[in-house]
Structure 1
Amino acid sequence: MQLTDVVTDDAMMERNRPGAGNSRIDYYYEDIYKYRDHEIGWHWHREFEFMLIERGKAQIRIGEEEYILQEGEAVFINSGVMHSFRACASCIAPNIVFPAEFIAQESGVVYQKYVLPFLENPYSCMLIRGEREYERELSGQLREIFRICRDRADAWEILVQSGLCRLWGILFLNRGDMVCTARGTANMLTETRLKKMTVFIREHFMDRISLGDIAEAGNIGKNEAIRCFRAGRGMTPIEYLRKYRLSQAEKLLLETDSSFTEIASLTGFDDPGYFSRLFKKEFGESPRAMKKRVKNFK
C-alpha cells in the first residue's frame, strides 16, 4: 500500500498506519518520492522497523543525525526513535513495522534477555551497508521476509515471525554496532514545535505570512523558530515556506489549466517574475517550459 503523507498526533507519534499501536505486523512497498514534498516526515512509533532501499537513494534523519542509504542498503530503527526519510527521485523502499511482542511475549525470558535491552538502552538505529558478513546475512534475511510478505502464501505469518526472530538474533549478537543517541525531551519538544509550525505553513502558504507568524504558531520566538527548523528540516522557516509553495505550484501547473500567473498568486507569490525565477532554480525549468513539456508529452 502506497501512503502519501504521515499523520501524527501532537507528540509526533504516527497514527495513520493501520497497525500503529496494536499487535499486528505491517508490510509496505512504497516509493518515498510519492509522499508529500517527497519525504516521509518526522514521526516515531512504538513498533520496530526495518527498511530496505530496493531502488534509488534515500536520506534518513535520526534525531540530529543524517545518513544516506544507497540502493541495496537497509536500516533498523528502534522503538520510540524520531526519524524521517526523504528522496530526490523515485526511491522504492519496502519496509516492515512490528511490535516487540511479535518477537516474544513480555512475560517470557526471551523478551527479558533479548528484546528489553533494545528498549532500555539508547540504541537508535543500525545501518546495514552490506560491508560485513552479518550485514549481508541481515540483508538476505530481510529480502526473504519481504518476499514472504508480498506472496502471502499459506502460513505466511508464521514464516515471517520465524524470519524476524532469526533477524533479531543476528541484530542482538551485533548490537555493539548500533548507533546510540539520547532520546531526551529536548528533541521531542523541537519536533512538537515543528509540527505546529509546518501545519500552519501548509494551511496558510497562499497567504502573506512572515517569520513572526510562523514562530507564533509554535508559541516561540523568531530565533527559536529558526533553530527548530535548522535542526529538524535543515533550512530556515522562510526557506521551508518557499519550497512548500513551489511544490504546490508544481502540482497546480501539472494538474490544472491555470496560467502560471494565476498559480503564482494562488501559492503566495505576489510577483510572477520572482516566482518564475524561483521555480526555474528549484526545478531546472521555467513554469512555461514545464507546462509545454508536459502538454507535448500527453
Structure 2
Amino acid sequence: MSESLTKLKVNVKDFGDCLYLLDSNLKCLSKLIINVEHIGPKGNFTLATKKLPKLKYFSLCSIYKTFSYDDLIIPLLHRMINLEELILFLSVVRFSSDVIDGIQLHDEILVHMTRLNKFTFSINTELLIKNDIKTDITTKENIQHSFIGKEFGQVQSIIHNDANDYNIIIIDEDNIGLIDFGDMCETFLISEVAIACAYIMLDKQDPINSATYLIHGYNQIIQFENIEIDLIYHFICTRLAMSVTISAYQKQVQSDNHYLVISEKPVWSLLEKLNTIHTTFIYQTFRSACASSK
C-alpha cells in the first residue's frame, strides 16, 4: 500500500485489522473510513499509543455488538488529536448501569479533540446486569439534554420534518403516533418544533398563543437554549414560505392533485397575519412560555 495514500475506505473482519492499518506506514493518510465486522476483544495484539496527527476524518461502523468500547475504541480515538470529523455507528454492551449519553461522549471523546467540527453518531447501549440484558437506545432527546451547558454548538438529529394533523394518529393519550416519513432529514432539533408550530398556527385567531402551548410543552422535556427560542419564530416563517413556494410549483406539475395545495390558502393568511405582529412581542411570548415550563 502506497505511503502517499491520503484517503482510504475499507471493510475489515476484526478490529486488529483496523489497528494494523493505522499503525502501518501510511504517513499521509488524512481520511479513513472503516466498516468492521467484529470489535474486540483485545486478543494478541498490543494497543499502540502513538498519536495520529495527520488524520482529519475518521469513520468507524460495525454491525455487531461489541464489549470493547472502553478498552479498544476510546483509546484509539484519543490518538486522533487533530480530528475534524468523526463518525461512529456502534452497538455497545456494558457490564454496568452506564448508558453512553452526551455527557460521556463529551468527557471521553470530545474534550480530547479540540479541532473537531462535526460528530455524527448512532450508539446503542445494552446493559448486561446480573445475566439480564436491558436495552437502552439513547434517544435524540436524551443526547440533546445531556449536551446542555457544554461549549459545543447545537446537536443535530434525524427529525420527522412534517408533523401536521394529517400525519398524526391519536387513539388515546397513551397511543399517539406519526406516519409519513418521506421528508425525514438531518437538521437542528428546533426545526421539528418550528414545523409543528407552523401547522398548529393555521386557521387560528391567535396563532402565537397556539404555538406557545406547543413550545411550553416541548421545553418541559428538552430545554431550549436562549438563541433557539428566538430562532423558532424565524424557522416557522421559513417553513411557511417553503410551503407556499412548493405549492405554487406543484400546481404547475400536478394541477389535478388538490392534496398538494391543501394548506396554501391558510398559510398565506397566516403569513399576512404574522406580518402585522412585532417580532419583539413574539420573542417575549415564546421566552415567557419557556421560562414558565422549567
Give the TM-score taking structure 1 as reference length: 0.28
Structure showing the higher helix proportion among its residues: 1
Max Rg structure? 2
Higher RCO, Cα 8 Å, sep 6+:
1
Structure showing the higher strand proportion among its residues: 2
